[in-house]
């Protein structure tokens, strides 16, 4: 049976190659040039000739994006006959350079050719509402209310910013007041904004190497405009880990977990807490340090943070679900583990349960 499958595969490949040779495209890559995003669709035409001795049928032309639409005839192409594939590209909402491929197939899914269109779309001018979609009061607008740092390295400084604008004809005062503090965040924000003025709110984290801290770092800032608190808040978030140590290479620690998903299944809302155990093992060659373990209600975790595992050693921890603290229905959470594993310093293990009446 294996030999028959192999022979069948070889025949299919040969047929595909034969078909590919029979349909010759004058140009398999066309340049649509540079055009405006609001200028409407741009089209081009690929010309092909059947250079074989049998009719060829184009059954389908497949693209990977709805912005690219092919138009072609499914009438058999006789030997020596020419055909066309017209392709249109919609630039709306797609500024910048583009490169799209189209795969041409025959009746038995044999590939007849691969075509490419490319070009450059000049972006349209964005409105203030598009550039700064979040209004926080009195015409003051932000481009986002979330500033996420993927990693915050212990002993290093890191900065980021969000943008704001006063989209009104009056001067406004701005104040940011902490609702939730990590004690690590420094904020540089304008105290006032003149009419039409654009500015930025700068965020800066620095965790001293002499006082390391690991795991989630969260800060929530209230926004006050002219002394009035906005309904919107700014969330600044990151995960604190050790800086990457590339010198370890093959001698690095490596964390392995006994579960990648912890499932509590169906539980009753009135029931007492449920607990499941999870094992962590050092599959690397040097000492593994568990630096943080955390999850959010209604899930809780208990791990020996600070534990040091030599190569091959393991430890157990617990994840607890308190059904009474959660809503009814499907619950989803995660366990965040932070270690000195340079390859995966922050590991997330999914947790789920269904709380029933």
List, in order, residues 6 or more apart from 31 with CB less than 8 Å away: 117, 118, 119
**Domains (range + CATH), the chain:** 16-122 (2.60.40.10), 128-241 (2.60.40.10), 249-356 (2.60.40.10)
Strand partners, 332: 352
Q: Is the pTM of this model over 0.75?
A: no
pLDDT class for 22, splitting at 50, 70, 90? confident
205 neighbors 152 (Cβ within 8 angstroms): yes
**Does pLDDT of 14 surpass 50?**
no
Distance from C-alpha of 290 to C-alpha of 307, rounded to nearest angstrom? 6
**Does pLDDT of 21 surpass 80?**
no
How many other CB atoms sit within 10 Å of the CB of residue 196?
12
Give me the pLDDT at residue 64, please: 80
Distance from C-alpha of 316 to C-alpha of 314, rounded to nearest angstrom? 7
Give pLDDT tens digits for 110-145: 889 999 999 999 999 889 999 999 999 999 999 999
Percent of the chain predicted with pLDDT > 70:
93
pLDDT class for 11, splitting at 50, 70, 90? very low
Residue in this structure with the two tokens 């969260």, named with its chain if needed? 218
Q: What is the mean pLDDT of the chain?
A: 91
């Amino acid at each position: 049976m294996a030999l028959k499958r192999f022979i069948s595969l070889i025949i299919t490949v040969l047929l595909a190659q034969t078909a590919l040779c029979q349909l010759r495209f004058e140009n398999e890559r066309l340049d649509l040039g540079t055009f405006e995003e609001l200028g409407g669709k741009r089209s081009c035409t690929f010309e092909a000739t059947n250079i074989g001795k049998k009719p060829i049928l184009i059954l389908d032309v497949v693209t990977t994006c709805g912005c690219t639409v092919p138009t072609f005839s499914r009438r058999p192409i006789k030997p020596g006959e020419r055909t066309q594939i017209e392709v249109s590209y919609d630039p709306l909402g797609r500024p910048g350079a583009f490169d799209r491929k189209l795969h041409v197939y025959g009746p038995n899914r044999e590939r007849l050719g691969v075509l490419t269109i490319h070009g450059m779309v000049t972006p349209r001018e964005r409105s203030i509402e598009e550039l700064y979609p979040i209004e926080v009061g009195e015409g003051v607008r932000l481009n986002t209310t979330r500033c996420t740092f993927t990693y915050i390295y212990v002993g290093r400084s890191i900065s980021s910013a969000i943008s704001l604008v006063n989209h009104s004809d009056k001067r406004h005062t701005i104040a940011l007041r902490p609702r939730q503090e990590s004690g690590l965040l420094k904020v540089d924000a304008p105290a006032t904004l003149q009419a039409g003025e654009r500015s930025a709110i700068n965020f800066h984290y620095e965790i001293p190497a002499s006082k390391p801290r690991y795991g989630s770092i969260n800060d929530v800032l209230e926004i006050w405009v002219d002394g009035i608190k906005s309904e919107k808040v700014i969330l600044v978030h990151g995960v604190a880990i050790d800086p990457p140590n590339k010198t370890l290479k093959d001698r690095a620690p490596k964390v392995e977990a006994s579960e990648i998903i912890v499932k509590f299944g169906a539980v009753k809302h009135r029931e007492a807490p449920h607990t499941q155990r999870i094992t962590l093992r050092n599959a690397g060659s040097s000492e593994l340090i568990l630096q943080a373990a955390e999850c959010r209600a209604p899930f809780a975790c208990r791990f020996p943070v600070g534990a040091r595992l030599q190569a091959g050693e393991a430890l157990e921890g617990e994840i607890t679900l308190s059904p009474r603290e959660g809503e009814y229905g499907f619950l989803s959470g995660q366990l965040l583990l932070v270690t000195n594993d340079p390859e995966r310093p922050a590991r997330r293990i999914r947790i789920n349960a269904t709380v029933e009446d």
